[in-house]
Amino acid sequence: MGNLKFQFKNTRYNRQEQMPEWGILRQRKLASAKVACIGSGGVKSTLLMALAAAGIGYIKIIEFDNVELSNLNRQTLFNNKQIGLPKGKCAIKLLKSINPDIKTIWLNEKVTEQNIDSLLEDCELIVEGGESPNNRNLVNEYCLKTNKPMVHASAQFSYGYVFSMLPEKKSACFACLFPTDYSRKKHTGAVPVWVVPVQIAGSLGANEVIKYFLGYKDKMIVNKQLAFSSLLLSQCFEYLKIPRKKDCPVCSKYYENKYGKNLKT
């Protein structure tokens, strides 16, 4: 590092383009990337700001909810003056102020079986953000069907994690991660949570998206989960192995149909 000479210029991406693992050519890959983010609250609040700042060229937000006072202790994408306004509209406004060079789109929609194909067809990577395990598995199955990568990040209490799925690598899916709960239709409702775990999980999720488009797929968190325990108590980060379940009722039918019965992971 001591022999490296950097030419720092007052340009938007100069500081990251000077990173040896990044560079100008990889920055151009980000500029052509197309990402869909389902939801803009929770961990997606931090995740979206990171993607905009990094220069992801096309960000589509699918969001039907409004800003609430109880969001503001952790969702820094929004502010007090926006209470009652559509989250998607507010998100687009801030993302454009962060980086006017990227294209941002908001769809005031709820993802369903009937519209998921049309909502996500123009995007290369999906940031999952369903309101229930069943809805999340709907996105999971869409990504398996279309061979698109999916990033899933979550936080509650002082805990959180990130998990990615790469169908092209035949990796573990959302149903492998939650084999007894992936199809539950009811949302558990509001859970206790605060800003730091939300921002950490959101940043880890954004990092997964960036790694994918920079060409570091082999470094993504697949077939495992990067989890952190209570930041107020144990403060432990660890990788938990999530091997693909060969009898998974969800991904096995897609992998077997595409690649044959004797699938090796």
Domains of the chain are 22-259 (3.40.50.720)
Distance in angstroms (rounded) separating the CA atoms of residues 140 and 148: 9
Q: DSSP letter at 40?
A: S
In terms of Cα–Cα distance, which of 109, 131, 185 is closest to 117?
A: 109
Sign of CA dihedral 50, 83, 38, 119: negative
Question: What is the amino acid identity at position 172?
Answer: A
Report strand pairing: 58-62 vs 34-38: parallel
> How far from each other are the two terminal CA atoms of the chain, in whole angstroms?
38
Per-residue pLDDT of the chain (265 residues; tens, 9 = 90+): 555 678 899 999 999 999 999 999 999 999 999 999 999 999 999 999 999 999 999 999 999 999 999 999 999 999 999 999 999 999 999 999 999 999 999 999 999 999 999 999 999 999 997 778 888 999 999 999 999 999 999 999 999 999 999 999 999 999 999 998 877 777 767 889 999 999 999 999 999 999 999 999 999 999 999 999 999 999 899 999 999 999 999 999 999 866 444 344 4
Sequence-ordered alpha helix ranges (H) in 14-157: 14-17, 23-31, 43-54, 87-98, 116-120, 133-146
CA-CA distances (angstroms) from residue 187 to 10, 24, 117, 256?
A: 46, 43, 23, 31
